[in-house]
Amino acid sequence: MSAPVLIVGHAFELGVAYAPSRVAAYPSETPRRPRRLVSYEPGALGGRFVVEVIPVCPNPRQRPHHLSMTVRGWAAWVEHYGARPVREEDEA
C-alpha cells in the first residue's frame, strides 16, 4: 500500500475499497456500491482520483468500471454516505 492521502481531515489509502456506511433512507434510493481508490493525481483544486466501482455480482468477463472524481466529489460522497474500509473477504 502507498502512503495515505489526506482528504477533508480523513486519511484514505490507495488500493483500499471503501463502502458506504449509511443504508438507503428510502426504498426507492439506489444502494451504493463500494469504491476502490485506484490512483491519485495532485493538481489544481486538490487533484483527481480514479475510483473503481466494485460490482455487486462480479463477472470475470466484465471490465472494471472506473470513475474519475475530483477530491471535492470524493469528499461529498464520503460526507453523504460515510465510508468505511472493506476487507477483502467482505468483497467476495
pLDDT tens digit string along 64-74?
A: 889 898 888 88
pTM: 0.71
Buried b or exposed e, range 56-87, using 16+ CB within 10 angstroms: eeeeeeeeeeeeebebeebbebbeebebeebe
pLDDT exceeds cutoff 70 at 78? yes
- What is the domain extent for residue 79? 5-91
Per the structure, the count of domains in the chain is 1
Confidence of residue 92 (pLDDT cuts 50, 70, 90): very low
The CA distance from 87 to 82, in Å, is 16
Nearest-5° Cα angle at 52, 51 to 55: 145
Please, what is the average pLDDT of the chain?
79
Helix locations, the chain, DSSP H: 71-81, 88-91
User: What letter does residue 27 receive in the DSSP assignment?
Assistant: T
With 60 as the cut, is the pLDDT of residue 42 above it? yes
pLDDT higher than threshold 60 for residue 44:
yes
For Cα atoms 42, 77, 62, give the angle at the middle one, nearest 5 degrees: 85
Q: Above 60 in pLDDT, residue 18?
A: yes
Predicted pLDDT at 29: 61
Using pLDDT thresholds of 50, 70 and 90, give the confidence band for residue 5: confident
